[in-house]
Chains A and B, each alone.
Chain A
Amino acid sequence: KAGVTQTPRYLIKTRGQQVTLSCSPISGHRSVSWYQQTPGQGLQFLFEYFSETQRNKGNFPGRFSGRQFSNSRSEMNVSTLELGDSALYLCASSLDVHLAGWNTGELFFGEGSRLTVL
């Protein structure tokens, strides 16, 4: 079974540009969540999608957005890039998030997209 696939793996952008990152979850997984990982702040939750609906959102500015398609693939977009947006962006998928109304916590992560903003 293929794992979570994130593209692109590495990218370099300049300040003010925008970027779109893609995530293909494990087949059959309907939940996709996104995390930002930086040396200073660690792993921070961005948002989670389940069946094309955003179910949860972290504390990030509106420049960060995402969506999920009917095949469960997800994209996240960052507009008007800032130097501080340089990070590893991790996508995770899950089969049973919100099972019985609660997150089971068993996430399968991709290898991430490393964004460098110059």
Chain B
Amino acid sequence: AQSVTQLDSHVSVSEGTPVLLRCNYSSSYSPSLFWYVQHPNKGLQLLLKYTSAATLVKGINGFEAEFKKSETSFHLTKPSAHMSDAAEYFCVVIGGSQGNLIFGKGTKLSVKP
């Protein structure tokens, strides 16, 4: 069965410093992986997706993620945090017999001025 584990429930960084949000996955085959972001009182927005093409995936707002099969990881990074990045981030894998999305528990990112 497919699953994702987000290793941190809360990450706090200072504005201008790098962001690292960690996600490990479990899959019996080559997975399709995604990162979604949810700003307060808003719906979720797709940040980026990995579908077995390039292992380094670039997304919106300067975020990128690297698929590492040997480590079963798909960590999200950004070189320099901005105040507007404060939100909750979800690592997602496609799973199940019909391919529904399976969400991680989420990582809340706080950005200090």
Q: Which residues of A contact B (CB under 8 A)?
A: 4, 33, 35, 42-45, 48, 55-56, 58, 90, 92, 98, 102-103, 105-112
Contact = CB atoms under 8 A, between A and B. Distances in A.
A70 B92 CA distance: 30
Contacts, number: 58
Is the interface on chain B under 10, 10 to 19, 20 to 34, or 35 or more residues?
Answer: 20 to 34
Contact of A105 (B41, B45, B94, B105): B94
A42 B15 CA distance: 27
Interface string B71-113: 0000000000000000000101010101111111110000000
B23 to A, nearest CB: 14
B101 A45 contact: yes
A55 B96 CA distance: 12
B43 A110 contact: yes
B106 A103 contact: no
A106 B49 contact: yes
B90 A107 contact: no
B101 A107 contact: yes
Nearest to A42: B105
Contacts of A44: 103
A105 B101 contact: yes
Given A48-B98, A102-B99, 12 more contacts: A35-B103, A48-B100, A56-B96, A90-B43, A90-B44, A102-B94, A103-B99, A103-B100, A105-B34, A105-B92, A108-B46, A110-B43
Given A4-B43, A43-B90, A105 B98 contact: no
A77 to B, nearest CB: 20
A43, A58, A98 pick with most chain B CB within 10 angstroms? A43
B105 A109 contact: no
A102 B103 CA distance: 17
Contact of B46 (A42, A56, A98, A106): A106
Contacts of A42: 103-106
B24 interface: no
B46, B92, B100 pick with most chain A CB within 10 angstroms? B100
Interface string B21-32: 000000000001
